[in-house]
Each structure stands twice: as structure tokens, then as C-alpha cells.
Chain A
């Protein structure tokens, strides 16, 4: 049976894994290569490395970090942060990534999705969508009467810029342009440990046939059970709960399996 995936996310800055809430109080959480191998040995089905402060000057640092991290890692490895073009993506693949994630660059020029997918395959292109629920009076509700309803709006530039795009429509578009997976982060839930946004995740998972990775809000085992059952997610991503020994991935997977969620466990 195809299992649900647990993905460990490493937020990196200047070659180190960091952890902070909303970019404040950033703490050093270790070496990316060491942490990636540790998470993999503990049962992570996949590793995502996000360069949270990538700038042009830091691109070389990122490629070096990716090369070092990929060397001894034999589970799928995804890298994102600041990738803007086919050339940027090619350098990251060359360093040993299996997939890249793009967000802002895809919104600015959706053609970049297709160009990377054509060269490296759709399976290598993970479209990151950062979405925030926004009241909208622009759309009539189901009764047809105008009134406030909610849409989930796509944000770019690390959550700083709203785009006016509807996340569900954007998800369908990126699928048609060649994206192989969607990594959906709920900005409302990110960092809160109050659970994933189940409604938004399910709406997007039902709208596309490519896998949806849910992100933002993981704080308990029950949150993962919910996001796989009600949220229809194919994979769930979490960063903070895995750091500082709060909970091992193995414990998490064992408990999820006990709850009837198919897991790659024992390894």
C-alpha cells in the first residue's frame, strides 16, 4: 500500500539549520548534513531544505550545503529558497537535490515551472504555495447573494507579499503547467502548533491529482492523523517538533500506524 509521507524540513541560513518564530529569535539548530542523515535514520521519508534568507550572493553557499547534505542521503531530497530560473534549478540538481521547490518565481513567471519540468521531469518540481485566509467581499456566497466569504490568498517573498491569487485556482494552474507536487503552507497556522488547516488542505487535494504536502501548524500526533484523514494530504511536513528532541519521527510514525494511517514503518 502506498504510505503517507512524513517529511522533515530544515530551514537554513548561511549553511546552518535555524529555528525561529516568524524570523524572530532565530536559534542555531545544527548542521544540515548531520540533521538530514539523523532524520533519515529516524524514519523521515523525505528531507526538505529551505534556504530562508537566500540572496544572490548566498547562492554558492546553498549549492555547497546541498552538496554536503546530499552526499550520504538516500531518501528524496528537496531544496528551495531563491530559485528563480532553470539555471538556478540546474545548479541545485547538479549539487545533488532530487527536487526543487519554487514559489515567488513561479508566480512572477509561471513558464519557469514548465521549463524546469521539461528538462528535469515533473517529479522534480514541487510548487510551494503559501496561503492565508482572507475575507473577500468580491465573491458571492453559495446562495448567490453578495456577502463576505473567505478565499485563501497566495503570498510570495517569504509570506511578505500578497498576490491577489486564489490558492485553489493557482494549484490547478501549476498542475497544468507541469508541477509534480504541491507543498501547501498555511500561513495562519505556521508556527502555532495548533494543527494543520484541514479545510484548505482538503480543498486543494480534491482540486488536483498531484500529491499535496501539508505544512504549517503541526503540534501533535492527532494533527497528523487529521491532516491525512480529513485533510486528504499525501504527505505532511514539519520542522520544529523534530528539533531539540521534542518528538522523534519514529515515535510519530509508530503512533500514526497504530491509528490506522499507512506508514513506512518499521524501516
Chain B
């Protein structure tokens, strides 16, 4: 069962549909009690980093942190991935989950922002989420803020400079682009996540 966390930031239909296409059962929830039993937690998200404040307000942040410690698999997509870091300059007073070190920042000057369209992600080192995915792979991005390249970065994209397209640390995974909109490469990543043991 894939547990898709709804915190009123955007549209979950596409992510749900992609997992269903892969044969997964999907539940959409905003209830911490449901997340407490989840084995595969997905936090998507679009728009402003401040929207993630809803996760703390409803108690979901603490539940998710605890489930990750207990071994549940976690996947953050787009703003959901950014939320895995300590915070973002987009909303300086909103704290992230903090399972990864570093801050989300706007693209450096010179590059046209937002970064919208198909770009390539290059694998760096071993990765469970990118297993069987070509490198480089074309993937669909749409965002104005990005994560720096850190020790847990397994996929790198260049736009202005290099940033994290995919991060992976044990049972937690983050994808800045939209795997549900990135053709067969993206579906393969979602399939890799869904097949993780728990």
C-alpha cells in the first residue's frame, strides 16, 4: 500500500494514477493515525515551501519522522523533497523535516527561473531508486528553488549550476522532478520505491 499524504498543496491525481498504473494500491490521507501504520509514505507537493507548514500543524511531521526511524520507506517529490532538508530560503521561518543536511535556495542569477521542462539527471554512485534507470535520463522539472548537491545526492542535474535531482539515504528518497510525468524513466523510479521491502 502506498500512502499518499495530502496537505492541501496541489493535485495528487497524477501521482496516484502512476502508482495505480504500476499495480499498487494507493490511499490518500491527511490523518496522522493512517500514516502511523504506513509502510510506503509519499509526500508530493507543488508551489510554495510555506505550504509544508500544514504538515507540522496537523502533527504529520512528527509521525513521519517516527515512521522513518522505525524503517518505513519515505519518498518526497518536488516540494516534498525540498521539505526533507532543514529549510528553504523561500520561507525562512518554516522548518523542514531535516533528515538531510542543507538548505533549499533559489537558482543562482543568470538562469531563467522557473526551471520548466525536460532536463537530464545523471546518476552518482549506487542508488536503489535509480536502479535500472538509464543515466543520463530525461525527466520533467518545474520549480524555482533547488537543493544543493550533498553527500546523499544520487542524481545530479545542471541548470545554472549543479543541483540535486535525486537524493537517497537509507529508507528515505527525494525526487525534485516529477517522476509521474517523466515517461518510462520516472515510472521505473516509482516502481523501485513501491517494491522496497519494509
Contacts and interface: CB of A to CB of B under 8 A. Distances in A.
Contacts of A123: 46-47, 114, 116, 142-143
Nearest to B46: A121
B95 interface: no
Nearest to B17: A96
Given A76-B140, A234-B116, A96 B10 contact: no
Contact of B183 (A3, A75, A94, A180): A75
B18 A211 contact: no
Given A71-B17, A120-B10, A120-B11, A1 B187 contact: no
Contacts of A94: 11, 13
Nearest to A118: B47
Contact of A95 (B13, B113, B114, B115): B13
Interface residues of B, number: 34
A93 B118 contact: no
Interface string A63-103: 00000001110111000000000000000011110100000
Contact of A45 (B117, B143, B158): B117
A76 B181 CA distance: 6
A3 B119 contact: yes
B29 interface: no
Contact of B11 (A3, A71, A93): A93
B6 interface: no
Most buried by B among A121, A209, A234: A121
Nearest to B141: A2
Contact of A75 (B11, B46, B140): B140
A109 B131 CA distance: 48
Contacts of A3: 117-119, 138
A181 interface: yes
B177 to A, nearest CB: 11
Chain A interface size band reads 20 to 34
A71 B178 CA distance: 16
B21 interface: yes
A197 to B, nearest CB: 21
B181 A234 contact: no
A252 interface: no
A234 B159 CA distance: 15
Contacts of A189: none
Interface in B13-36: 13-14, 17-18, 21
Given A3-B119, A75-B182, 7 more contacts: A40-B183, A76-B140, A120-B10, A120-B47, A121-B9, A209-B112, A211-B114
15 contacts: A2-B118, A5-B117, A45-B118, A74-B187, A76-B178, A94-B13, A98-B11, A121-B10, A121-B46, A122-B47, A123-B143, A124-B46, A181-B116, A209-B113, A210-B116
Interface of A: 1-5, 40, 45, 70-72, 74-76, 93-96, 98, 117-118, 120-124, 180-181, 209-211, 234-235, 264, 267
